[in-house]
Copies of this chain bind each other. A is one copy, B any other.
Amino acid sequence: MVKKQNTKADIVDVARAAKVSASTVSRSFNHPNLVNPATRKKIDRAVKKLGYIRNRAAQAMHGKRSGTIGLIVPTIDHAIFAEVVQSFSEVLEATGFTILMASHGFDLDREYQVLRKLLEHRVDGVALIGLNHTEDTFQLLEQQEIPAVAIWNYSDQSRISCVGADNHLAGQLAAQHLLALGHQDIGLIFPATDGNDRALGRMNGAVETLAAAGISVPDEWRFEAPYDIGRAKKVCLEMFQHPHRPKALLCGNDVIAQGAIFAAQSEGLNVPQDMSIIGVGDFKGSAEIEPALSTIRIPAKNIGRISGELIVDLVASGSTTPERILCDVKQIIRNSTTFS
């Protein structure tokens, strides 16, 4: 007579309440067409009454998919990742997946640990940011034969699937624009490039293009700034004190570029008359800032969406051979660059 009372309802409680077997209840969820509509109705009523919620953990044990996709980001606290992650997650949620998210704070060893943890949860697939990962990480991915996609970077020799832009090209395009305007005195502001292949690719693209045009950037015009508008502004402020300063600034991303614009404005420099500034990314707000920012557009929303679509494909097909999708970058010339 001791009904279990405190503990939550499970599938056999539902079965009992609906006066059918547990198998039938299970079937009613997973293959509704195999069960009599009348029975189904009884079951639904019992489910409602008991407040039963299915247990995906128990389902996952049957080799069924867990219905989760792991997403590993350096941090979400960057406008640009937030945008990618949002459109990525929209696709997944529309397909019925849930996202297991973890961040590693730009530490690739932590990334490996985090990946392991996600695998313990038996995610059906994993998405990572960038193509720069430790050997351990790649091996784990391969050994577990789990669908994986790298978001944000493209390389035709990537070890795992990737969907992203050619950051090297982005750097080139930025440099080309400055060159085309006639600039020679060009400064560079980039984030630290270790463990960040996005920034590295862009910087290389830029300096190579400049070098090809016979322009070398002196060391005192190369600056490092983190992905943080305040810190970037401060770095630029210092630079502007310097008597001999560049006439144009090529920034590793739009956040840095925004910092640079604010720094210039606070010093009374006119952008673009006194100082041309170009960024990379075309983030939200880059079009609205005054002056509107010239930049190289990297289509974050698209990349997120396509990554999402790709990972569900890979999960569905179980395929683990790399698929590589290149997203276009293009110059977006607005009002923060000129030459006089």
CB-CB nearest in chain B for A89: B103
Contacts of A289 in B (CB 8 A): 262
Question: A117: CB under 8 A from chain B?
Answer: yes
CA separation between A290 and B51, bound complex, in Å? Answer: 55
Contacting pair B100 A98 (CB below 8 A):
yes
Q: Is the CB of B102 within 8 A of A100?
A: no
Q: Is A61 an interface residue (CB 8 A)?
A: yes
With a cutoff of 8 Å between Cβ atoms, the chain B residues found around residue A118 in the complex are: 98
A122 close to B (CB within 8 Å): yes
B-chain residues with CB within 8 Å of residue A57 when the two chains form the complex: 56-58, 60-61, 66, 121-122
Q: Mark A103-114, 1 if CB is under 8 A from B, else 0.
A: 101000000001
Q: Taking the complex as formed, is A229 at the interface, i.e. its CB lies under 8 A from any CB of chain B?
A: yes
Interface residue A11 (Cβ < 8 Å from any Cβ of B): no
How many angstroms between the C-alpha atoms of A117 and B93 in the bound complex?
10
Give the contacting residue for A76; candidates B8, B82, B117; CB below 8 A: B82
A85 at the interface (CB under 8 A from B): yes
- CB-defined contacts of A114 to chain B, threshold 8 Å: 93
Q: When the two chains form the complex, which single residue of B81, B99, B233 contacts A100, counting CB atoms closer than 8 Å?
A: B99
Q: How far is the CB of A289 from chain B (nearest CB, A)?
A: 6
Contacting residues, chain B, for A290 (C-beta < 8 A): 262, 265-266
Query: Which one of B55, B61, B89, B288 lies within 8 Å of A262 (CB-CB)?
Result: B288
Tell me, yes or no, whether A258 is within 8 Å of chain B by CB.
yes
| Interface check A313, CB cutoff 8 A | no
Among B56, B143, B265, contact of A120 (Cβ-Cβ < 8 Å) = B56
Contact with B along A47-73 (1 / 0, CB 8 A): 000010111111011000011100000
Selected contact of A288 from candidates B76, B78, B89, B233, CB within 8 Å = B233
> Are A51 and B8 in contact, CB atoms less than 8 angstroms apart?
no
Binary CB contact string for chain A from 131 to 155 against chain B (1 if under 8 A, 0 otherwise): 0000000001001100000000000
A230 at the interface (CB under 8 A from B): yes
Whether B100 lies near A284 (C-beta < 8 A) is no
| Shortest CB distance A315–B (Å) | 16
Decide if B93 touches A86 in the complex (CB within 8 Å): no
Interface residues of A (CB under 8 A from B): 8, 51, 53-58, 60-61, 66-68, 75-79, 81-83, 85-87, 89-90, 93, 98-103, 105, 114, 116-122, 140, 143-144, 228-230, 233, 258-259, 262, 265-266, 284-285, 287-290
Can you identify 5 A-B contacts, CB atoms within 8 angstroms? A76-B89, A77-B82, A99-B100, A99-B101, A100-B100
